[in-house]
Amino acid sequence: MSISPLAWVAGNSVVEPGVVLGAHVTIGPYCVITAGVVIGEGTVIASHSVITGLTTIGRNNTFGQYASIGEVNQDLKYAGEPTTLVIGDRNHVGKHATFHRGTVQGISSTIVGSDNHFLNNVHIGHDCVVGDRTRIGDNSGLAGHVELADGVEIGFMCAIHQFCMLGMAAKIIDQSAVVQDVPPFVIASGNRAAPAGINEAAKAFLALELYQQLLIFQLYERFYHQALSIDEVKATLKAGESDYPIITVYNEFFARSARGIIR
């Protein structure tokens, strides 16, 4: 066990041998932290939380009450293999959140980036990859193997089907069910989720030059109003990659998309 002298652990919490706590880590009352967990400097764990497995948490994160972090995943093929959960820095995790570690059938790890905001009762399933600066609302969940690019926004009471990809700055409206991939900057809504416009308020969109913003609208037009095939759109993207840097984001998305995009 390696606990910084500057860390604080409530007297009625259980911290097993083999745990690493950085400076200024705070472990609230009635928590259980099991062997193999590493918690970085300045992270705060609220009361009644359980952090277990081979879980590594970065700096200056906050976890609400009754969080369950690093638990055994819900994949019935899991047989106790030493898979991991890795969480970056400056994330806010709400009350009753559940983050599961990966499976050997997937990437053997669940990976969460930095500067994300997860509200109450959020579930992150096994082998998910979450980028930076995402936001997930109350009672929403990611099934296994879901990927969120940077800046994705998910409203409350949403469900994201396993193996789905959500592109950069995509936005999912409250109470939606996503069963296919959502391209970058696209707003999706409904059960099953359908395209509902461009996420013009996204920071990633506002940071672009006007000509690239216009290109995003043109691509949306081709995807959804002209009803072009994916192959036709891909050919257009390839032709303009050298002139429009944002096209690289779309090409990378389509190169990895396997479930088809929402239509």
Residues with catalytic annotation?
Answer: 126-127, 144
Q: Is 209 exposed, middle or buried (0-12, 13-18, 19+ CB in 10 A)?
A: exposed
At residue 26, φ and ψ (nearest 5 deg) are -120, 125
What is the rounded (10 degree) CA torsion for 59, 163, 72, 36?
A: -30
At residue 255, φ and ψ (nearest 5 deg) are -65, -25
Which strands sit side by side in the sheet containing 32-33, from one edge to the other? 14-15, 32-33, 50-51, 68-71, 98-100, 123-124, 141-142, 159-160, 177-178
Could you tell me which of 164, 126, 125 has the C-alpha nearest to residue 142? 125
Instruction: Please list, in sequence order, all residues whose beta carbon lies within 8 angstroms of the beta carbon of residue 180, skipping any fewer than 6 positions away.
Output: 161, 164, 192, 193, 259, 260, 261, 262, 263
- Assess contact for 165 and 182: CB atoms under 8 A: yes
Angle at 14 between CA 12 and CA 15, to 5 degrees: 135
Residues in the chain: 263
